Structure formats: structure tokens, C-alpha cells
Amino acid sequence: MSTTTIRVDRHTHARLIEMSRSSGDSLTETVRQAADALRRVRLGLRVRQQYTQLRSDPGVWADYLAEAEATHVTDGID
């Protein structure tokens, strides 16, 4: 695994060190987990924004719900 250096302020570095020590993970793993968590949060915010936009137009929202209802997923879950 290749690595690189990033600059962070002292406060952020101290928080990362604290989280790393409390979890027993390396600092690199802690930063990786933090980046993944931020990516998931931002994805959730985009999805919420898109649903809000869909719901703002009753016709578009009705079309979306009708399409979702008509979609049959064969996942075996009843």
C-alpha cells in the first residue's frame, strides 16, 4: 500500500490520534474510516435532496411511486 502525506491542523490531528488510540486502529485506518464515513454522509444528503426535489412536483412524485410499485424485484423476500 502506498501512502502520502496530508496536512491537518493540530486540533484535527489530536482528534484523529485520540480516535485511533481508543479504537486500536492505526492512524491510517482511522483516517480511511473517517473519509468513508464522510462519503456515506454526503451520499445520504444527496439522496435526501433528490427525494425532496421529486416530492416538490406532485406529478413527478406520483410517476415515481407508480414506477416503484410496478417494479418487481425477485429477491425472495415476502
Distances (CA, A) of 8 to 12, 14, 34, 49: 6, 10, 14, 30
What is the DSSP-derived secondary structure letter of residue 75? S
pTM above 0.85, yes or no: no
Pairwise pLDDT comparison (74 vs 15), residue with the higher score? 15
CA distance 29 to 6: 14
Instruction: Quick: pLDDT tens for 29-76.
Output: 999 999 999 999 999 999 999 999 999 999 999 999 999 888 877 777
Cell 491537518 belongs to residue? 8
Q: Assess whether pLDDT exceeds 80 at residue 77.
A: no
